[in-house]
Chains A and B, each alone.
Chain A
Amino acid sequence: MSSSPSMLEATPTRAMRRGGDLAFYLWTAVGLVLFPFIFRLPIFNGYGGLATQILIVGIAAIGFNLLLGYAGQLSYGHAAFFGLGAYGAGLTVLKFFPQAHSFGLAVISGVFIATLAAFIIGSLVVRLYGIYFALLTVAFAQMVYFVVFQWRDLTSGDDGLQSIGTPAVNFGFTKVDLTSTLPAFPLGPFGDLSEIKLWYIMSAVIMYLVLAFVRTLVRSQFGEVLEAIRENEERSIFVGFDPRRYKLAAFVISGALCGLAGALRALYDGSAAIDTLTVEQSGAFVIYTVVGGVGTIFGPLVGTGVIMWLENIVSAKTGAWRLIEGIIFVAVIVFLPNGVIGTFIKKGKGKFDLFATLRGKK
């Protein structure tokens, strides 16, 4: 058998790959453009603001999943990076550089602080596994919570940062106010164009870039090694890889994405709440990701969308929302071990499988 080098590649031929790339970039763009309008349909009964929030929080879930789904490590402390992103952005606007009043600077500062924290915490936790890893991430997240809570002069403690507002985005030639809306234009059952704020466009563009980045990363040389380490760490060490550095890199990128989400969240809300730093917030990322599909590109976003949307609808009608959420979560773990998205994807190669035992795989 004469095999050309490409025969060895784990992925299909270049031409097929190009086709897959094109489909991804095209359909993702179409999906993000149509989402707020379809979301407005009476059967979904969503609204533009919720669509924006889903995309923003979805970035954090995607970041979280990079660690759980691709590096195989469950963190219960990712709220730390989300919250630090939020406080970093808020403080940049309010205290660090109030005169600059810059959207871009606020986002960059938020991401920077979260990334720095992820590097420090990550360096300490990557050597641990399973429950020890999970608990140590909780511990560090609680320390971050404590510092932010106690540093009242800077953070206003309990009250959180208020009236951050949304600085205009400066493109150089023009300044854009994200809170302004598109022009009025009736769209029948899809609502009205003016229900869409520029915020949605901003978050959709960022989401698009994040999805493209994560997809590229997962398929890159780095992603390939990360997956190898998750599947068999010992063999990976003895072919010559250094698992800790890979896991640390994954941890830092993961934390940076959570920081990005946090920064956008603070600028969108105009406030940064202490709640962004709690264990409950960390648990929310876990729930979103597991429900959507661990180890898939779109899973965390879909999970975030499904849960936030349901929460919006159900909690208006009954106080039992959290109970329903818990039931959904457990039901997904038991019945859809690959999550909502994973269930539709047949290719189960090396997928994180929560319930292989039940199906007799093990």
Chain B
Amino acid sequence: MSEMILQTKGLGKRFGHFAANAEIDFAVRAGELRAVIGPNGAGKTTFFNLLSGITLPSDGTITYKGNDISMAGGPARVRLGIAKAFQTANIYSDQTVGQNVRLAALARVQGSFALQVFRRSGRLGKVDEIAERALERVELGEMMHTRAGDLSHGDKKRLDIAIALATEPEILLLDEPVAGMSIDESRRTEQLIKKLAAEMTVLIIEHDMEMIMGISDSITVLHQGKVLANGTPAEIRASKTVQDAYLGGHSESEIA
């Protein structure tokens, strides 16, 4: 068994009296493609927010490569190699597609702050190199000069992934990467995720069960803020507990 790159122990997040996440023990191997699923309101997004540093935990710890990063802020985690693509494409709409990824590459090259008031970033050759590679991987290379806000919905979401890639992550968090995409776009994105999974650890939240069952190495099911089950796609599909949790108010088709 290879090393655990990311682990949580007793992780919890309370908003007032409401526990959005509680006692989450979670571990993912380097190189794994892990899906996090669960009914709406199960706490998936909160869990991702805790991992990426958008919110800080109320209880428990997050360990990354053996170091406690529970209280590290967003920029620090990105620098450590944890990047995130958002549920709703989070991009710089008024800038070109190329500039969107360049900024992420710039952050990777220069760090979280640099008082470079005289030098242009164009002087940092490596920035363009990283940015270009990221764009090519999501097949947006030809859209480089398009204003990001003018992209189609699917392209915006793939650009968001490219931005995350340009930070050169070791773990990529994808929050519903194919939500709202056409069938064709979903397929392309699915292929993309498979390719990425070969190079890095990928954590994915997704409602498209067909896709999840097809691509994941393993699946974690969240329910009411807690871990309900862990296992391979086949195990999860067969699990009685999981079926009950989903069927409690949810249609059967959602899981099948």
Question: A residues touching B (Cβ–Cβ < 8 Å)?
Answer: 1, 3, 5-11, 213, 216-217, 219-225, 228, 231-232, 234-242, 245-246, 249, 253, 349-350
Distance in angstroms between the alpha carbons of A223 and B120 in the assembled complex: 9
Q: Which of A1, A10, A223 contacts B95 (CB 8 A)?
A: A10
**Residues on the A chain within 8 Å of B144, using CB:** 3, 7-8
**Residues on the A chain within 8 Å of B116, using CB:** 220-222
Stretch in B122-130, B188-196, B208-216, B233-241 with 4+ CB within 8 Å of A: B122-130
Q: A3-B141, A216-B118 are in contact. List 10 more A-B contacts (CB 8 A).
A: A1-B142, A5-B125, A10-B95, A228-B95, A239-B107, A240-B75, A240-B107, A249-B115, A349-B94, A350-B95
Q: Does B183 contact A (CB under 8 A)?
A: no
Decide if A219 touches B120 in the complex (CB within 8 Å).
yes
**Residues on the B chain within 8 Å of A7, using CB:** 98, 144
Min Cβ gap B174→A in Å is 13
Decide if A232 touches B117 in the complex (CB within 8 Å).
no
Q: Does B161 contact A (CB under 8 A)?
A: no
Interface residues of B in 71-122 (CB under 8 A from A): 73-75, 78-79, 83-84, 86, 90-96, 98-99, 102-104, 106-108, 110-122
Q: Does B24 contact A (CB under 8 A)?
A: no
Decide if A221 touches B121 in the complex (CB within 8 Å).
yes
Using CB atoms, name the residue of chain B closest to A249: B115
Distance in angstroms between the alpha carbons of A19 and B120 in the assembled complex: 16
Supply 16 A–B pairs (Cβ within 8 Å), ascending by A.
A1-B141, A6-B122, A10-B95, A216-B117, A220-B119, A220-B121, A224-B120, A234-B90, A238-B84, A239-B103, A239-B104, A240-B111, A241-B112, A242-B113, A246-B113, A349-B94
Q: Does B155 contact A (CB under 8 A)?
A: no
Using CB atoms, name the residue of chain A closest to B147: A349
Q: Does B131 contact A (CB under 8 A)?
A: yes
Decide if A222 touches B132 in the complex (CB within 8 Å).
no
Min Cβ gap B16→A in Å is 23
Please provide the 3 A-B residue pairs with the shortest distance between their CB atoms, ordered closest to farther: A240-B107, A240-B78, A5-B128
Q: Does B218 contact A (CB under 8 A)?
A: no
Distance in angstroms between the alpha carbons of A209 and B34 in the assembled complex: 56
Q: Which of B54, B79, B118, B128 contacts A8 (CB 8 A)?
A: B128
Most chain B beta-carbon neighbours within 10 Å: one of A5, A231, A232, A240: A240
**Residues on the B chain within 8 Å of A246, using CB:** 113
Given contacts A221-B114, A238-B52, A249-B115, contact A232 B78 (CB under 8 A): no
Distance in angstroms between the alpha carbons of A8 and B114 in the assembled complex: 21
Using CB atoms, name the residue of chain A closest to B108: A240
**Residues on the A chain within 8 Å of B75, using CB:** 237-238, 240-242
Decide if A225 touches B103 in the complex (CB within 8 Å).
yes
Decide if A224 touches B117 in the complex (CB within 8 Å).
no
Min Cβ gap B104→A in Å is 4
Decide if B117 touches A231 in the complex (CB within 8 Å).
no
Q: Which of A219, A242, A253 contacts B112 (CB 8 A)?
A: A242
Question: B residues touching A (Cβ–Cβ < 8 Å)?
Answer: 52, 54, 73-75, 78-79, 83-84, 86, 90-96, 98-99, 102-104, 106-108, 110-122, 124-125, 128-129, 131-132, 141-142, 144, 163, 166-167
Distance in angstroms between the alpha carbons of A217 and B163 in the assembled complex: 24
Decide if A236 touches B119 in the complex (CB within 8 Å).
no
**Residues on the B chain within 8 Å of A234, using CB:** 90
Most chain B beta-carbon neighbours within 10 Å: one of A6, A7, A8: A8
Using CB atoms, name the residue of chain B closest to A349: B94
Distance in angstroms between the alpha carbons of A232 and B104 in the assembled complex: 13
**Residues on the B chain within 8 Å of A242, using CB:** 75, 112-113
Min Cβ gap A246→B in Å is 7
Using CB atoms, name the residue of chain A closest to B104: A239
Most chain A beta-carbon neighbours within 10 Å: one of B73, B115, B125: B115
Given contacts A220-B116, A246-B113, contact A8 B91 (CB under 8 A): no
Min Cβ gap B173→A in Å is 10
Decide if A8 touches B108 in the complex (CB within 8 Å).
no
**Residues on the A chain within 8 Å of B83, using CB:** 238-239
**Residues on the B chain within 8 Å of A235, using CB:** 86, 90-92, 163
Distance in angstroms between the alpha carbons of A234 and B119 in the assembled complex: 25
Using CB atoms, name the residue of chain A closest to B103: A228
Distance in angstroms between the alpha carbons of A219 and B132 in the assembled complex: 21
Decide if B128 touches A241 in the complex (CB within 8 Å).
no
Decide if B114 touches A222 in the complex (CB within 8 Å).
yes
**Residues on the A chain within 8 Å of B104, using CB:** 239-240
Min Cβ gap B85→A in Å is 9
Most chain A beta-carbon neighbours within 10 Å: one of B74, B166, B167: B74
Given contacts A10-B95, A234-B90, contact A224 B103 (CB under 8 A): yes
Distance in angstroms between the alpha carbons of A340 and B151 in the assembled complex: 32
**Residues on the B chain within 8 Å of A213, using CB:** 117
Using CB atoms, name the residue of chain A closest to B90: A235
Min Cβ gap B21→A in Å is 19
Min Cβ gap A63→B in Å is 14
Min Cβ gap A320→B in Å is 40
Distance in angstroms between the alpha carbons of A350 and B92 in the assembled complex: 9
Decide if B141 touches A220 in the complex (CB within 8 Å).
no
Decide if A9 touches B128 in the complex (CB within 8 Å).
yes
